[in-house]
C-alpha cells in the first residue's frame, strides 16, 4: 500500500484537471509500487480525478492500482483500527429513480425528470444480488433511513445536488405540487440526515450527479459522501461530475462485492 499526501499552495482552474498524468504526482510517481495507493489530498486537490490520471503507457491509474481517497491521516487510522466484525457482511439496499413528479415549479411542472436509466441500473444489480430495489413512491427519505442501518451494501441511483451532493428522494406526502423549498426542507436526503444514523455498510455507492462534491475545508470536502463516511461506512464510491447512463458503476459494484 502506498500513501501519498499532497499539498497545494495555489488554486488550480477546473480545466487543468481534465487531462492529467501520473507525472502530476511527481516526485512520488517513481515510488508507486504494489497494487494500492492511499491519497490524502489537500485543498482543491480533493476534487482531482486521480483515477483518471494517465501513466506513460496512456493507461488510467485506476487500471494499475486500487485508489483510496482519505480525508485525513486520522480517518485512515480509524478505518484501519476498526474491528472487522463492526461492518455488516450481509444485506443490500438498492434505491433507484425515486418518484419526483409531485415536486413542481410555480407553473405546476416537475422540476426534475424521472431517471429511466436509474431504475434499470438497480434492477440489474438486484437480479445479480437477488434483492428487490426500493423505487418510485416507496423510495422516501424515511424508508431509506429505516433500512440503511443494517445492510452491508447501499446503492443509490438518483438525482444529486450540485453543491453538496445531497440526494433527491421521493416525498413522503400525498400533497400535489410540492414547492422546491418545501421539498428540500422535508424530503431531500441531506448531510444532517445521514450524520445521525449509525451505518455498518462496507460499501456505499452514490450513483448520483455530483455526489463527491461539497465545501472544501481544512479537514476535506464537507458533502454527502463525507457524511456517509462519518456515519460509519467503510468505503463510499462517488462521482465528481454529472452522470449520463448510471451504468457507470455497475462493473465496480459487482467486482468490489465479489472481493
Within this chain, do residues 59 and 98 fall inside the same structural domain, yes or no? no
Cβ of 216: how many Cβ atoms within 10 Å?
A: 17
Residue whose C-alpha cell reads 455498510 in the numeric block: 201
Contacts of 46 by beta carbon, 8 Å cutoff, 6+ apart: 69, 216, 220, 221
Within this chain, do residues 96 and 165 fall inside the same structural domain, yes or no? yes
Distance CA 249, CA 241 (A): 13
As a whole-number percent, the residues of the chain with pLDDT over 70 amount to 81
Q: Residues 192-219: what's their mean pLDDT?
A: 91
Residue 79 domain flag? no
**pLDDT for the residue 256:** 55
pLDDT in tens, 49-85: 888 888 778 888 888 888 888 888 888 888 888 888 8
pTM of the model: 0.83
Residue 196 domain flag? yes
CATH of the domain at 202: 3.40.50
Residue 23 domain flag? yes
Q: What is the DSSP letter of 9?
A: S
At 205, the pLDDT band (50, 70, 90 cuts) reads very high
Within this chain, do residues 65 and 111 fall inside the same structural domain, yes or no? no
Domain containing residue 202: 92-257
Amino acid at each position: 500500500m502506498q500513501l501519498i499526501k499532497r499539498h497545494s499552495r495555489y488554486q488550480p482552474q477546473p480545466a487543468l484537471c481534465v487531462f492529467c498524468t501520473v507525472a502530476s504526482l511527481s516526485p512520488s510517481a517513481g515510488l508507486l509500487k504494489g497494487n494500492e495507493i492511499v491519497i490524502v489530498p489537500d485543498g482543491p486537490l480533493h476534487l482531482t480525478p486521480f483515477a483518471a490520471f494517465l501513466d506513460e503507457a496512456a493507461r488510467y491509474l485506476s487500471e494499475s492500482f486500487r485508489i483510496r481517497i482519505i480525508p485525513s491521516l486520522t480517518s485512515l487510522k480509524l478505518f484501519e483500527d476498526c474491528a472487522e466484525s463492526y461492518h455488516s457482511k450481509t444485506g443490500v439496499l438498492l434505491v433507484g429513480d425515486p418518484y419526483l413528479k409531485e415536486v413542481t415549479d410555480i407553473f405546476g411542472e416537475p422540476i426534475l425528470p424521472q431517471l429511466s436509466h436509474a431504475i434499470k441500473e438497480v434492477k440489474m444489480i438486484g437480479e445479480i444480488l437477488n434483492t428487490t430495489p426500493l423505487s418510485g413512491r416507496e423510495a422516501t427519505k424515511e424508508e431509506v433511513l429505516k433500512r440503511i442501518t443494517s445492510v452491508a451494501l447501499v446503492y443509490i441511483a438518483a438525482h444529486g445536488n450540485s453543491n453538496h451532493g445531497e440526494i433527491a428522494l421521493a416525498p413522503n406526502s400525498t400533497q400535489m405540487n410540492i414547492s422546491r423549498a418545501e421539498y428540500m426542507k422535508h424530503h431531500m436526503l441531506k448531510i444532517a440526515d445521514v450524520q445521525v444514523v449509525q451505518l455498518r455498510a462496507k460499501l456505499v455507492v452514490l450513483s448520483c450527479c455530483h455526489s463527491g462534491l461539497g465545501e472544501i475545508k481544512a479537514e476535506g470536502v464537507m458533502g454527502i459522501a463525507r457524511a456517509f463516511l462519518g456515519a460509519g461506512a467503510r468505503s463510499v464510491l462517488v462521482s465528481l461530475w454529472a452522470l449520463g447512463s448510471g451504468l457507470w458503476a455497475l462493473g465496480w459494484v459487482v467486482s468490489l462485492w465479489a472481493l
